[in-house]
């Protein structure tokens, strides 16, 4: 009887994986049709998507462009025999500049455009610190004073004198800290800065303007509007509310009872009042408490209220990040001999902000979308302008096209913020996945 057993001395060549396990077909099989329940849900979802797109795509692309809604409808009836299911993008072609810039003078459109471009440049070293030169941080520092001058115009000395308040505060902190301690130096710096802004800034600015008249054409706040106004309010509220929120979150955890109760009272009061109520206070009631003859710009009042509202919610988000840190982080900072502010700046706050990134960005997106509420108090933001356009005899009855255009504008900004949030989370990911 012969022995036919043998030992293989060569490896079999590798075979290509089955076509049903790799590529698009493999992805579809594993993610969409992995079992009977997923298969049913996939089929139902595809049917729903087809139903929506079958109505939306013809409405978007089988459209007309005419100078009025009545002419649009005439063209629709001539082409398709019906006005149903077709958009009239003529209103966007006719009014898109107004929807973007409001009543801002057309000859000065370059100023808000330049302010927007400089905003991107000023944010670049903050958002992408590892990819952008640190020299742009100088632009980041001066942008909060350059932007109002570009938009409102007037004398250059006003923004310069406003910036001098911060310089004075910095100098006070630098020279008083060694003599009286950090807390006293901080209080003295705040008092000195406000004294400069309230008492000396105006006269000094006027004197410098009379000596060296450097100015550009002024634009009144009532000419602001459109999506530009939403960007302006959103950028200010987002940029200022984050540091205020950090201070409020730290103050809420402070051992000093006065500071703690003040922060708790402020946060709970602001979070317990609707934003629209605060906007009505800014629009109607705030002037009652100001001295007679005081001219407090309505946009500035709205900025302050929206910033305070966002800061209260930001404080709670950051407080959640602080509460998530283990006690060992605080003990480690103490063991290194760091004082309170050093520990917060180097160890505690970076980790708390990292944990709080999703909540922070959600608050940013929420406050940016809430800028549309200013149309209720008479400011012509993009929603207010849409209502004004619909009141025009040429566009009476138009609706979906305007709000679809506005939705796209807000989606671009909000989607961009959410994508950056995900990028930042991946960049700062240090744990095991």
Q: Which two tokens stand for residue 3?
A: 């022995």
Kind and range of the H or E element at 155? Answer: strand 154-155
- The helix-helix angle for 400-428 and 226-252 (nearest 10°) equals 40
Whether residue 44 contacts residue 56, with contact meaning beta carbons closer than 8 Å, is answered with no
Which pLDDT score, from 0 to 100, does residue 2 have? 53
CB within 8 Å of 402: residues ≥ 6 apart: 91, 92, 99, 386, 389, 390
Widest pairwise Cα distance in the chain: 120
Same domain? 210 vs 236: no
Domain of residue 191, residue span? 154-216
Q: Is 146 part of a structural domain of the chain?
A: no
HSE-CB for 25 with a 13 A CA cutoff: 6
Which pLDDT score, from 0 to 100, does residue 424 have? 87
Q: Is 110 part of a structural domain of the chain?
A: no
Q: Is 76 part of a structural domain of the chain?
A: no
Q: Give the rounded distance of the alpha carbon of 303 from its chain centre.
A: 13
Q: Is 144 part of a structural domain of the chain?
A: no
Boundary (domain end) residue, out of 162, 188, 216? 216
CB within 8 Å of 200: residues ≥ 6 apart: none
Same domain? 162 vs 46: no
User: Looking at the whole model, is its pTM more than 0.75?
Assistant: yes
Same domain? 170 vs 231: no
Q: Which two tokens stand for residue 81?
A: 């025999």
C-beta atoms surrounding 189 within 10 Å: 22
Same domain? 367 vs 291: yes
CATH no. for residue 359? 1.10.3720.10
Q: Is 82 part of a structural domain of the chain?
A: no
Phi first, then psi, for residue 2 (nearest 5°) are -85, 145
Q: Which two tokens stand for residue 428?
A: 């700062």
Q: Which two tokens stand for residue 245?
A: 């929120």
Q: Is 135 part of a structural domain of the chain?
A: no
Same domain? 27 vs 163: no
Secondary structure class of 64 (helix, strand, coil): strand
Same domain? 181 vs 285: no
Q: Is 6 part of a structural domain of the chain?
A: no
- C-alpha span between 156 and 168 (Å, rounded): 19
- C-alpha span between 343 and 225 (Å, rounded): 44
Q: Which two tokens stand for residue 111?
A: 């100023």
Same domain? 164 vs 239: no
- C-alpha span between 56 and 404 (Å, rounded): 11
Boundary (domain end) residue, out of 165, 189, 216? 216
Secondary structure class of 34 (helix, strand, coil): coil
Q: Is 66 part of a structural domain of the chain?
A: no
Same domain? 28 vs 54: yes
Helical spans, DSSP H, in 18-89:
23-31, 36-61, 69-80
Same domain? 174 vs 233: no
Same domain? 226 vs 211: no
In 346-357, which positions are buried (b, 16+ CB within 10 angstroms) versus exposed (e)? ebbbebbbebbb
Which pLDDT score, from 0 to 100, does residue 6 have? 63
Same domain? 182 vs 229: no
Same domain? 191 vs 267: no
Which pLDDT score, from 0 to 100, does residue 330 have? 82
Which pLDDT score, from 0 to 100, does residue 291 have? 63
Number of domains making up the chain: 3
Output the tens digit of pLDDT for each of the chain's 433 residues. Answer: 555 556 767 777 877 777 667 778 888 888 888 888 989 999 999 999 999 998 888 888 888 888 888 999 899 898 888 888 888 999 999 899 999 999 999 999 999 999 999 999 999 988 888 888 888 888 999 999 999 999 999 999 999 999 999 999 888 888 887 776 777 888 888 889 889 888 888 889 989 988 888 889 999 988 999 999 999 999 999 999 999 999 999 999 888 888 899 999 999 999 999 999 888 888 877 767 666 666 778 898 899 999 999 999 999 999 998 888 888 888 888 888 888 778 888 888 888 888 889 999 999 999 999 999 998 888 889 999 998 898 888 898 888 999 999 999 999 999 999 999 999 888 887 654 4
Boundary (domain end) residue, out of 216, 231, 247? 216
């Amino acid at each position: 009887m012969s022995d036919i057993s043998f030992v293989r001395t060569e490896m079999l060549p590798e075979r290509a994986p089955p076509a049903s396990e790799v590529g698009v077909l493999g992805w579809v099989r594993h993610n969409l049709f992995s079992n009977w329940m997923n298969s049913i849900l996939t089929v139902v979802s595809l049917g729903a998507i087809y139903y929506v797109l079958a109505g939306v795509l013809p409405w978007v692309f089988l459209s007309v462009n005419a100078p009025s809604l009545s002419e649009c409808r005439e063209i629709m009836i001539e082409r398709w025999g019906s006005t149903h299911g077709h958009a009239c993008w003529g209103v966007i072609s006719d009014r898109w500049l107004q929807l973007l810039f409001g009543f801002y003078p057309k000859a000065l459109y370059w100023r808000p455009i330049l302010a927007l471009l400089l905003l991107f440049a000023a944010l670049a070293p903050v958002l992408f610190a590892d990819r952008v030169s640190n020299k742009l941080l100088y632009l980041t520092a001066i942008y909060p004073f350059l932007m109002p001058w570009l938009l409102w115009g007037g004398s250059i000395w006003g923004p310069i004198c406003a910036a001098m308040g911060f310089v004075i505060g910095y100098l006070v902190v630098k020279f008083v800290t060694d003599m009286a301690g950090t807390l006293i130096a901080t209080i003295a710096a705040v008092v000195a800065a406000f004294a400069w802004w309230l008492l000396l800034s105006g006269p000094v600015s006027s004197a410098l303007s009379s000596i060296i008249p450097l100015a550009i054409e002024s634009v009144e706040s009532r000419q602001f509007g459109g999506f530009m106004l939403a960007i302006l309010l959103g950028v200010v509220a987002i940029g200022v509310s984050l540091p205020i929120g950090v201070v409020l979150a730290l103050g809420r955890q402070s051992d000093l009872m006065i500071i703690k109760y003040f922060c708790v009272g402020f946060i709970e009061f602001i979070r317990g009042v609707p934003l629209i109520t605060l906007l009505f206070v800014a629009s109607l009631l705030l002037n009652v408490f100001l001295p007679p003859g005081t001219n407090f710009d309505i946009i500035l009042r709205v900025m302050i209220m929206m910033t305070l509202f966002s800061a209260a919610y930001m404080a709670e988000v950051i407080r959640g990040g602080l509460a998530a840190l283990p006690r060992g982080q605080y003990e480690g900072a103490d063991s290194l001999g760091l004082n309170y502010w050093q520990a917060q700046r180097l160890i505690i706050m970076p980790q708390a902000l990292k944990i709080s990134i999703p909540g922070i960005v959600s608050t940013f997106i929420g406050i940016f979308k809430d800028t549309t509420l200013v149309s209720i108090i008479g400011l012509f933001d993009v929603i207010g302008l849409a209502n004004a356009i619909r009141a025009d005899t040429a566009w009476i009855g138009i609706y979906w096209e305007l709000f679809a255009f506005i939705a796209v504008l807000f989606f671009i900004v909000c989607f961009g913020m959410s994508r950056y949030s995900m990028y930042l989370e991946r960049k700062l990911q240090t744990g095991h996945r």
